[in-house]
Amino acid sequence: MNSRIVRKALAGFRWQDVDVLAYKADAAPFRDVTRQVLFGDAGQASQLRYFEVAPNGHTTLERHAHTHAVMILRGAGRCLVGDAVFAIETFDLVTVPPLTWHQFRASIESPLGFLCIVDADRDRPQLPTPVELRQMRELPAIRAFLEADS
Amino acid sequence: MNSRIVRKALAGFRWQDVDVLAYKADAAPFRDVTRQVLFGDAGQASQLRYFEVAPNGHTTLERHAHTHAVMILRGAGRCLVGDAVFAIETFDLVTVPPLTWHQFRASIESPLGFLCIVDADRDRPQLPTPVELRQMRELPAIRAFLEADS
């Protein structure tokens, strides 16, 4: 029982009794992201996950009705939320409102690790259609952000 | 709107647009604790709070039906959960099960800062009665923990 009450932090942003998982089980596009569920069955209405994006990697560009509450835990990078791009650093807080396109990108020099709280009961992410993606790319700042890895 | 999407981390574990609050509004016993609500109205089923216990300070000894999901973010200390005392360090994870007595104490040398996720809809904490406190103190490890500040 004791090992369940306290799970020690290990080197490299890993934790006792926490598996390092594939970021996505489906074919959604992303690059170099891992996922760890830190609290997922604690009898709570929410889950706490830790995502880590390797240098120059990025999460999936997506949106959904549920909200993300994010705290950057390691490194730095940028995020797209809606129609704006933000620089993000360790311990910054990011709110992703409902049905808002978002993507997290690590800088070239460092990984980007972040905590993300979501409701346990939530909808599945939506990917942009080709038309939606074309509309997003019409804003130069968003186009530059999305093409940073090309 | 942009300032609401990203709230920057400030020096000393403070955040843009986040107030440093009294830990408790009532007369429950504690020593040298502050509270910051990092995500409280994000349209989620949970809240994320950051508590910081000054060196040698401690939170209230209490229990409640709701669960705590905790990540240590700064410093080190010890926690009582149920009938056991655990050493805790930065990034360790602590689960406080329902109706389980718990208290967090900072070490003498450093503050203890931690994230705590709770359901937004939750019951109020209960304090131990004198009889319950006497029963807890019958375990030498718990007595030593509770008397560390005396």
Task: Give the C-alpha separation, B30 to B84, whole Å.
Answer: 20
Best A39, A86, A119 residue to mutate vs chain B (most B CBs within 10 Å): A39
- B79 counts as catalytic: no
Output the average pLDDT for chain A. Answer: 93
Residue A138: band (very low, low, confident or very high) from pLDDT cuts 50, 70, 90: very high
Dihedral sign computed on CA atoms, order A21, A24, A27, A31: negative
Q: Which of A33, A72, A80, A116 is catalytic?
A: A116
Cβ(A71)–Cβ(A112) below 8 Å: no
Where are the domains positioned within chain B? Answer: 9-146
pLDDT digits 0-9 by tens, A104-121: 999 999 999 999 999 999
Best B39, B70, B83 residue to mutate vs chain A (most A CBs within 10 Å): B39
Contacts for B99 with CB less than 8 Å, ≥ 6 apart: B63, B64, B65
Q: Which residue of B has its CA nearest to A118?
A: B44
Question: B98-137: b or e for each residue (b if 16 or more CB lie within 10 Å)?
Answer: eebbbbbbbbeebbbbbbbbbbeebeebeeeeeeeeeebe
Q: Check residue A3 and give its pLDDT.
A: 52
Q: Check residue B1 and give its pLDDT.
A: 41
Residue A71: band (very low, low, confident or very high) from pLDDT cuts 50, 70, 90: very high
Task: Give the C-alpha separation, B147 to B150, whole Å.
Answer: 5
- A-chain residues near B83 (CB < 8 A): none
Task: Give the C-alpha separation, A130 to A138, whole Å.
Answer: 13
- B-chain residues near A18 (CB < 8 A): 93
Region of poorest pLDDT, from B21-30, B74-83, B95-104: B21-30
Q: Which residue of A has its CA nearest to B98?
A: A43
- For B44, the closest of A13, A69, A79 (CB atoms) is A69
- Alpha helices, H only, A53-139: 130-137
CB contact under 8 A, B43 and A121: no
Task: Give A45 or B2, the one with higher predicted confidence.
Answer: A45
pLDDT at B150 over 60: no
With an 8 Å Cβ cutoff, is A76 touching chain B? no
Q: Check residue B42 and give its pLDDT.
A: 66
- For B46, the closest of A96, A98, A117 (CB atoms) is A117
3-state SS assignment for residue A30: coil
With an 8 Å Cβ cutoff, is A139 touching chain B? no
Superfamily (CATH) of domain B9-146? Jelly Rolls (2.60.120.10)
Residue B13: band (very low, low, confident or very high) from pLDDT cuts 50, 70, 90: very high
Q: What is the mean pLDDT of residues A71-98?
A: 97
- Number of Cβ within 10 Å of residue A89's Cβ equals 15
Q: Check residue A42 and give its pLDDT.
A: 66
* Cα atoms in the Cβ-side hemisphere of radius 13 Å centred on A140: 0
Token pair listed for B126: 């209960």
Token pair listed for A80: 């797209």
> How many Å lie between the alpha carbon of B134 and the closest alpha carbon of chain A?
23
Residue A31: band (very low, low, confident or very high) from pLDDT cuts 50, 70, 90: confident
Interface confidence: ipTM more than 0.85: yes
- For A84, the closest of B2, B48, B89 (CB atoms) is B2
3-state SS assignment for residue A78: strand
Task: Please tell me what DSSP assigns to residue B63.
Answer: B
Residue B133 CA: distances (Å) to CA of A72, A116, B45, B146: 39, 37, 33, 10
> How many Å lie between the alpha carbon of A108 and the closest alpha carbon of chain B?
21
- For B95, the closest of A5, A18, A81 (CB atoms) is A5
